[in-house]
Chains A and B, each alone.
Chain A
Amino acid sequence: MADTMGHSATANRNTSVVISFCLLAIAPQIFEFIWSFGTMFGWGAGRGPAAVVIGHGTALLAGGPGALLGAVGGDTKKASSDVLLALIYSYPIFAVAILTIFMTIRSAQDYVGGIALLALALFALWASSDLQGMRGFSFGAGTAPRMFGGLLVALGAGIALTGLLTDGPAMAHYAWRGPLFVMASIVFFALAIRPLGVVVTAFASFMIAAMGTHETRWVEAVIVGACLTLGCALLFPYVLGLPMPMFPRFLVQ
């Protein structure tokens, strides 16, 4: 208690944790919002951005009171999936975020890890909420997901609790360069392999991945990348007989 400096640091840390929890609480909604722009250009199926905003907005704001009123009034009308998402996933996480303000986190690593698992479990519970439950003695499609989802909620909460009760490591440091370029390389590979073929895709992905570290020496990387591409182009389609395109589609035709 005497260490006021330390205390204010914890408080600071708490604010950022709380904000990140709030973001986590509406992460699926944000994801669908971003995704909905893609649907405007015709790839992927889903609702338009306006519909997403309205659907989730009303669900988040009016879903709770509505459900409460419905429960009081004995209204058993099936709630929409947006409302369910708000009820099952977003509200509990907001609640956790609010609770976090008043907590002293002794091990941020455990606390945040536990809450993230909890969020994941809640999300899974929402995702399996449309599945059938027990039918007499036989399991429905949704029984096992709900069972394990519930268990994971408990375990996540337990881990978060250890983070509050026992001392442990704080949040680890995250690098951004490695994850960013490795992911970019993987995503590029996935998008390019069909239209562009092994040769172009493998080389380009190699170079993108190589940007992931400052140690890279470019001349060396280009040479190794070219050799690797050649090796892959011989190994996978010919020696192993995997069916994959070699060259860009527009060049072949």
Chain B
Amino acid sequence: MTFIRALTGACAAALTSLCTFIAPAEAQTYPTRSITMVVPFAAGGPTDVVARIVTAHMAQTLGQSIIIENVVGAGGTTATTRAARAANDGYTLITGHMGTHAASVPLYPKLAYHPEKDFEPIALLAGTPILILARKDFPPKDLKEFVAYVKANSEKVNAAHAGVGSVSHVSCELLHSILDVKPVGVPFNGTGPAMNALVAGQVDYMCDQIVNAVPQINAGTIKAYAIATPERNPSLPNVPTTAEAGLPKFQAQAWNAMFAPKGTSAAIVASLNAAASKALDDETVRKRLLELGSVIPGPAERTPEALASLVKNEIAKWTPVLKPAT
């Protein structure tokens, strides 16, 4: 194990010394040692995968290794609290997502940080579209029928979700507030068990991120009504957007973005942003993110300012939806 790790370490060190040697002294002063990237979810989860793909490329640009630290607990808020309190020297960063940096505000009244006040936004990394999914023998055939059916039978239908505060939970709450219904939400312990119940037909529908759903949809074990993004997704060309299918108000994406603790200097933020943006332009990075069904932000969406306004808008969007639910 460690041989491999030591080997990569040695390579990285060699590369670093080479880079520092070549790079002009005045241009690269910031990363003089390795950077810690906190990921508030378990290794292998959607956020972790995005963070790893992007940081691997960023490390090459910055000439320093980026160590991913997975800290799990309390819907990601444990790790986010820790990152908010870390030194603002640019050596501790966090890859947050919609839950930790927006939905957590109304969900956890005792939250120990505020996404806007305690963080410097760096860059938006990727968006993961959300789909409306249902068990394969659920009566409605398309989104219009689905809306009518759920409205008519809101006492009878069951919506699965992967636990309070999960993407599937908050996005379904948004859907329900748009439809003005309050069906029974059946909580599961993570996306896996929820998907299992949907495949087995024990629950009627759920809203979930595209990553987990594509293979099931392709195999016909579940069906998808619509994708809640402005455009169709290349991995599911046959699934219409919510706008096409007649529910334009339902727009939701699980986004991943990089933040630094408040007070990190503007120069550091700028160099990190440039590195992240360069990574998102890289051909292999793009290919791997697209394979996951992610939407890669365009150049205008990658700036720290754009991320700051995204966080602001998202908090404003989720607060009324989630406040009455808790």
Question: When A and B assemble into the complex, do they touch directly, with CB atoms less than 8 Å apart?
Answer: yes
A interface, CB within 8 angstroms of B: 138, 238-241, 243
| 8 A-B pairs in the complex with CB atoms less than 8 angstroms apart | A138-B184, A238-B2, A239-B1, A239-B2, A240-B1, A241-B1, A241-B5, A243-B69
Please give me the residue from chain A that is nearest to B2 by CB atom.
A238
Q: Which 7 A-B pairs have the closest CB atoms?
A: A238-B2, A239-B2, A241-B2, A241-B5, A241-B1, A239-B1, A243-B69
Closest residue of chain A to B185 (Cβ to Cβ) is: A138
Chain A residues with CB below 8 A from B5, complex form: 241
For the complex, count residues of B whose C-beta is within 8 A of A: 5
Nearest-Cβ distance from residue A7 to partner chain B, whole angstroms: 56
Residue of A nearest to B4 (CB): A241
Q: List B contacts of A241 (CB < 8 A).
A: 1-2, 5
Contacts of A138 in B (CB 8 A): 184
Docked Cα-Cα span, A241 to B5, in Å, equals 9
**What total of A-B pairs shows CB separation below 8 Å?**
9
B residues near A243, Cβ cutoff 8 Å: 69
A238 to B6, alpha carbons, bound, how many Å? 9
**Chain A residues within an 8 Å CB radius of B184:** 138
* Chain A residues closer than 8 Å to B2, beta-carbon distance: 238-239, 241
User: Which chain B residues border A238 with CB–CB below 8 Å?
Assistant: 2
- Which chain B residues numbered 1 to 18 have a C-beta less than 8 Å away from chain A? 1-2, 5
A241-B1, A241-B2 known; 7 other A-B pairs, CB under 8 Å?
Answer: A138-B184, A238-B2, A239-B1, A239-B2, A240-B1, A241-B5, A243-B69
Q: Which residue of B lies closest to A138 (CB)?
A: B184
Distance between Cα atoms of A243 and B184 in the complex (Å): 43
Q: How far is the CA of A23 from the CA of B2 in the complex (A)?
A: 53
Q: Which residue of A lies closest to B186 (CB)?
A: A138
In the complex formed, the residue of A with least CB distance to B69 is A243
Q: Chain A residue with minimal CB distance to B6?
A: A238
Bound CA span A241–B69, Å: 12
Residue of B nearest to A137 (CB): B184
With A and B bound together, what is the CA distance between A241 and B6 in angstroms?
Answer: 10
A238 to B2, CA, bound (A): 7
CA distance A66 to B276 in the complex (A): 64
* Complex Cα spacing A241 to B8, Å: 14
A99-B184 Cα distance, complex, nearest whole Å = 48
Question: A236: shortest Cβ distance to chain B, in Å?
Answer: 11
Chain B's nearest CB lies how many Å from the CB of A241? 6
With both chains docked as a complex, state the minimum distance between the C-beta of A26 and any C-beta of chain B, in angstroms.
Answer: 29
What per-residue 1/0 map shows which CB atoms of B170-193 lie under 8 Å from chain A? 000000000000001000000000
- In angstroms, Cα B5 to Cα A238, docked, is 10
Report Cα–Cα, A250/B133, bound state, in Å. Answer: 55
